[in-house]
A and B are shown apart, each in its own frame.
Chain A
Amino acid sequence: MSVAGKSKSKLKTTTFTQQEYQNLAKSNEPPRPVARNCLRAFIAGGIICLLGEALMKLFQTYFGFSEKTAGNPTVAVLIFISVVLTCFGVYDKIAQWAGGGTAVPVTGFANSLCSAALEHRSEGLVLGVGGNMFKLAGSVIVYGVTAAFVVGIIHWILGLGG
């Protein structure tokens, strides 16, 4: 192994004292309430999805949407609710309780856009709102599109495509 390689691997490993300390720090760390967080995420996420289902049925029954097209207005309404709650400063408080329950559904995506836009309003509309709005949501879009592309290719290779 070269000298440079050696020093590099040395940098990555921690000393004995550091390891000892990290064990001590770990033992003092209050554990994350994983079971409670999962339960809360299940309840909160479930409520949002239930609301989504109710909206779907509403649009199908009273507004003449088909099962396929009712998705769009439903998502729009959920996004609207999420944005309003973000603007009133409530969404982050609900999210501290609900965790993944409010982060995973479309409401979480809307919150990430809206909160970044609000936060950077002080830097102007172009460099502030425009430049920072996708600061958090950007990676969702980048990897969402990339993943969809890869899945699409696999789908096509397997001859399942139309």
Chain B
Amino acid sequence: MLQGHQSWAFRNRPVIVAAATVVGPEEAQGPLANDFDITHGDTLMEQKSWEQAEKKLLEEAAKIATENAGITKEQVQFYVGGDLMNQIVSSSFAARSLAIPYLGVFGACSTSMESLALASLIVDSGSARYAMAGTCSHNSSAEKQFRYPTEYGSQKPPTAQYTVTGAGVAVVAPEGDGPVVTRATIGRVIDMGIKDPFNMGAAMAPAAVDTIQAHFRDFGLEPKHYDLIVTGDLAQVGYDIACDLFEKHKFPIHETKYDDCGLMIYDRKKQTFAGAGGSGCACSATVAYGHLLKKMRKGELNRILVVATGALLSPLTFQQGESIPGIAHAVAIENKGSAS
């Protein structure tokens, strides 16, 4: 039900009964490698193109997620998903092979939490017994569509981020074993006039801050309610800016631990190619569904707020000199005993 201005409170506590993550070789070399279900050794995965490989990542994650939930894909009523490709083809083509009734959504890299919020809403309203939320991204297909050919020798500035190759899928049900989705805040599109496509963190940070502040205003909560607040893919530059903005707005983020998925997925000292950090739909999806949910199951975390951030640009808009609009969606995931 509606809470405050732009949030949903899920009264029936939809449960994330299963989740699965699949990643590529670079993520498998990173510090979170052990938290992923499948790690691929090469980026093409025996497919003919990067785009097909991206679709395969999502299909595999969906397969494992339904297996982990102990159901078949026929039992899933709705699949809500999207990705970065034009016309969200990776998700739609994966939905073709999954044959699950499908709602395609686009929120750039915020799609992970956008789809989870919608899947939770569907389950919370009693409209599905099982709903699936999923997203994927592939470093090479993203480079090809948004920047240059993958083998082109262009020098990237230190603000540039590295698109995560991977997919993350969560299965939501009215009851079962697992953490529950308690709240969601849908973000506004915020554009502060940043035009540099190699500095996405700076373009998205204001949207993340806006959504986080809206979340706490709508629910009348304080940051210390959560053990951890994570943004999706602000990386180093955006994370630092977000911290500055919180301070400027006198928002007490220091009450809790604040981190960013883009800073967690790679070891930037060893994996220097990552630049400022990770990005892409799969960044927040694999870190949240892989790393953070496992920590919750172990009881190391009880209440988390995942704020997936997205840059809503296309190669065309930035070539035409438009600035980069940002968006962020927040979803609160809590262990059953701790859910309030």
Which residues of A are in contact with B by a Cβ distance under 8 Å?
A: 14, 17-19, 21-22, 24-25, 28-33, 37, 86-87, 89, 91-92, 94-96, 98-100, 102-103, 108, 111-112, 114-116, 118-120, 122, 135-136
How far apart are A107's CB and chain B's nearest CB, in angstroms? 9
In the complex, whether B24 has a CB less than 8 A from a CB of chain A is no
Interfacial chain A residues near B41, Cβ < 8 Å: none
The answer on a CB contact under 8 Å between A28 and B155 is no
Flag if B155 contacts A25 (CB, 8 Å).
no
Q: Can you show 28 pairs from A to B with CB atoms below 8 A apart?
A: A19-B193, A21-B206, A22-B194, A24-B245, A28-B237, A29-B199, A29-B202, A30-B237, A87-B151, A89-B151, A91-B153, A92-B151, A94-B153, A95-B154, A96-B153, A96-B155, A96-B273, A103-B153, A103-B155, A108-B153, A115-B150, A115-B151, A116-B149, A118-B151, A119-B151, A119-B152, A120-B149, A122-B51
Residue of A22, A28, A108 most packed against chain B (CB within 10 A): A28
The CA of A33 and the CA of B236, in the complex, are separated in Å by 17
B66-109 contacts to A (CB < 8 Å): none
* Residue B192, interface by CB 8 Å: yes
A108 to B50, CA, bound (A): 24
Query: Which B191-207 residues have C-beta < 8 A from chain A?
Result: 192-194, 199, 202, 205-206
Per-position 1/0 for B145-161, Cβ under 8 A of A: 00011111111111100
What residues of B have a CB within 8 angstroms of the CB of A119 in the complex?
A: 144, 149-152
- What is the minimal beta-carbon distance from A118 to any residue of chain B, in angstroms? 6
Complex contact B244–A92 (CB within 8 A): no
Is the CB of B240 closer than 8 A to any CB of chain A? yes
B127 CB within 8 Å of chain A: no
Q: Say whether B48 faces chain A, with CB atoms less than 8 Å apart.
A: yes
Residue of B nearest to A32 (CB): B157
Q: Are A24 and B158 in contact (CB under 8 A)?
A: no
Question: In the bound complex, what is the Cα–Cα distance between A92 and B155 (angstroms)?
Answer: 8
Residues in B whose Cβ lies below 8 Å from that of A95: 152-155
CA separation between A37 and B276, bound complex, in Å? Answer: 18
Check if A18 sits within 8 Å of B192, measured CB to CB.
yes
Query: B34: CB under 8 A from chain A?
Result: no
A112 to B152, CA, bound (A): 6
